[in-house]
Structure 1
């Protein structure tokens, strides 16, 4: 693998724990968070609600995380209370998931990598909805888009984290067993594509290659089998072989117990994943509390249940390996 430039190395160090594992919290939800808050409250949630929610999550959870992922639209006040931890900033617009055919992405209008870096970002994060099975026309647009962002991050010497989330190119239900059976190939194929040098991505933020509800022999199993436990473990190992790049797992909106069991499965498979960027699995259950009872009740919930949730994640991260191993070195110091 190529040598890390000074800026990329500094950025990666700043979002890692002392072990070289990325134990980051994610709080860059915008449209989905606003909808959830409004639904629980039975009345609209405004920009101030989003800022306040992010501020509370950041202030409490960064005591137990190596970094926080925020958005520059509502997350900048929160970025000031991150307990000295690393900062990743999102660069994409919210809510383009199902609204556009082919789920084509878009960047925030008044932001650039230069501006995100000036706002304090240690790393840049992009979310892309992607499946290797989409039409060539759709994927060609996405590939070119990611190349541009990769070059922009290269020019500003800042790490580029790409988060890709799979979907059914035929428009099927992503919660179905049919999709669960396609998922290993979608995840593996995406990791193979975006691990290519041309994209200049530093860390892949990936989904786990299985749908836990369909893994026989797990606590998360709902009774319909897409894979045996042994097959699921093999899917983890197969996905890992697709790239030499560091990769971390996202929590994809599952509950805390499901995410913990997922990380345990990853550990059992022997997969050398390099950490997590975990959002909703730590704070999602606090949404109704903030919406109905306000800031103080939410803060109390975060200080207890929220901290418990992130502590569970950190314990499960004992199975993770340092990202610098992917560069063939045994310590951060060896990288310079």
Structure 2
């Protein structure tokens, strides 16, 4: 790889899969001796504390989609630090495109984490297709997105690259409620696409039979209408002493050590970092059959996979684990071995360096 620097660009460092991965990549490249940087365009965010001290950080405070002050400040930063590659995550592709227009020598690699992009139509699709012609490469987190990039965007340098998990924060601040060995956890910000309500319905249906088990939501609460529905469901069904919301937490490793089952009830996914983190923690998992989830758990060999938006089958899967300690231990260990083997940092960085030299 050449001596030019690389900068990860993302809107913010609020907790989320793409944000976690952007930090993990910046840190991993820095550890490899690469001139590695990270930039947030709109806000900083709590995950900034997970960034290694040897990684240079730039916050632009962009106020609107086309912010000339932020654009020219970023260009100046690129030239000053000899940065030749912009690795743009999720929606930050538009900002990277603006930079390319005034600084065409820089390479743009777009990292598409958003499974829902395959459903884009009309004007939004036309815009992203046009902008993609300025990208030197596209990284997709699952096969469906990669096929979309090749067939729909018709991009010649499109590749699928699996995410990798890493526990950086070693603090132990979040003490979970409930009894040991009887905790179910979901790592997902309170967004509609994560469908916490489906999970709540499943949990509620088995709660009478297994009242000692508790459910724990870890992720940013946006205090919007969706968040309100979640809290109303908890109150209306008398689950206040069984379902707990913790908001944004950084000590994920410590949290997962306190839990028994990891779940995701999403309607759409790319390749969720949280599912890989469950693997690092040796948790047995129940996940919906979306994005790359089924591949991660080997089509059910190292976890339980259920159809999305079906609380009945989700409840049955949870009960299967609740009734069998052996199954929990067996599938949890298998999930760990699979993640360790197929989703390692070393493997990711080798492939990433090859992409950067496109």
**Alignment TM-score, normalising by the size of structure 1:** 0.34
Higher radius of gyration, 1 or 2 = 2
The structure that is helix-richer by fraction is: 1
Structure ranking higher on relative contact order (CA contacts 8 Å, 6+ apart) = 1
The structure that is strand-richer by fraction is: 2
